[in-house]
Amino acid sequence: MERHLKDYITFLRIEKNLSPNTIEAYERDLNRYLQFIKESQSITDLNKVKQKHIRSYLRVLNDVHLSVNSINRAFSSIRSFHNYLAGEEIIEANPMLLLNTPKAPRKLPQVLSVQEIETILSMVDTTNNLGKRDLAILEILYSGGLRVSELCDLKLTDLLLDAEMIRVTGKGNKQRLVPLGPKALQCLNDYYKVVRPGLARKNQNSGRIFLSRNGKPLTRMMVWIIIKKYVALTNIKKDISPHTFRHSFATHLLEGGADLRAVQEMLGHADISTTQIYTHLDKEYLKEVHRTFHPRW
């Protein structure tokens, strides 16, 4: 078994050209797996490995409280190894064929309330030019539900202000049109017409909309720092990132009665199941519905 593992690692290094860190992770996972197969299941011939043995190993990983992500990584390593063994005809049957990847529980995203959004926005000082820029950034993140990378990549040609929309290029270079509310449009106009021309003269910026004080395209880290700056001025204790505004955008739309597929389109989700995570409702709202309509209240 050790020889087959050594050959597989060589295959990953030479034919798959994987990074040293990835190869090290595969080797570590597979060494543990083969040790379990040999010592706990008394198997020395890989042809005798069955689904039940692999399931037993996954149960052991779960029993030692390994995280779901770590278990999934181990599962992926084992599956790739057995696929290689089957492809090289080292084993007659692949025991991984009918095994499904363990599903990780989906965590509800951190969401801000409407009042918390308003509080953060109110911290921005718009008497200076960078404040006008920052408010436009926050308004667009919340009004359009953009990913931070999508915001940073916005170009002048993506502004469709007459239509009250922006063109967003998402994952896989897929483009979508996202409407903006009047407040976001006003803030964007203030920045675009008054502030941006002065910043753009300082540097080559490839036509990006949002620029730094030196005229360079704004980076994701800069946006993160901007958000942290204004959150620090509030009493909000939540861990807030640019993506929190996207989560809040989706949640508030759905709680207000928006159609799930419309929200999916605005978020740029390829699969509607990704959007469905936002269909959770505020606990207080659920309790209020229960209190209002249940006959035992």
pLDDT at 151 over 50: yes
Estimate to the nearest angstrom the gap between the alpha carbon of 265 and the chain centroid.
16
Q: How do residues 199-224 score in pLDDT, each as one tens digit? A: 999 987 779 999 999 999 999 999 99
Q: At what angle do helices 242-255 and 114-122 cross, to 10 degrees?
A: 140
User: Confidence class of residue 281 from pLDDT cuts 50, 70 and 90?
Assistant: very low
Residue 189 neighbours by CB under 8 Å, 6+ apart: 161
Active site residues: 147, 171, 243, 246, 269, 278
- Which CA distances in Å does 213 have to 35, 96, 198, 219, 224? 57, 55, 9, 12, 16
Indicate if 114-287 has the same CATH topology as 2-87: no
pTM, two decimal places: 0.62
pLDDT (average), residues 178-193 = 95
Question: What confidence score (pLDDT) does residue 68 get?
Answer: 81
| CATH architecture type of domain 2-87 | Orthogonal Bundle (1.10)
Q: To the nearest 5 percent, what fractions of the chain are helix, strand and coil?
A: 60, 5, 35
Q: Identify the pLDDT of residue 280.
A: 59
Q: Options 1.10.443.10, 1.10.3300.10, 1.10.3720.10, 3.30.365.10; which CATH number does 114-287 get?
A: 1.10.443.10
Secondary structure string (H, E, C) spanning 257-274: CCCHHHHHHHHCCCCHHH
pLDDT, mean of residues 117-132? 97
Per-domain residue ranges of the chain: 2-87, 114-287
Q: Mean per-residue pLDDT for 119-137?
A: 97
Find the mean pLDDT for residues 274-292: 64
Q: Which residue type does 271 have?
A: D
Q: Which residue has the higher pLDDT, 70 or 133?
A: 133
Least confident residue range of 60-64, 103-107, 235-239: 103-107
252: tokens are 């508030």
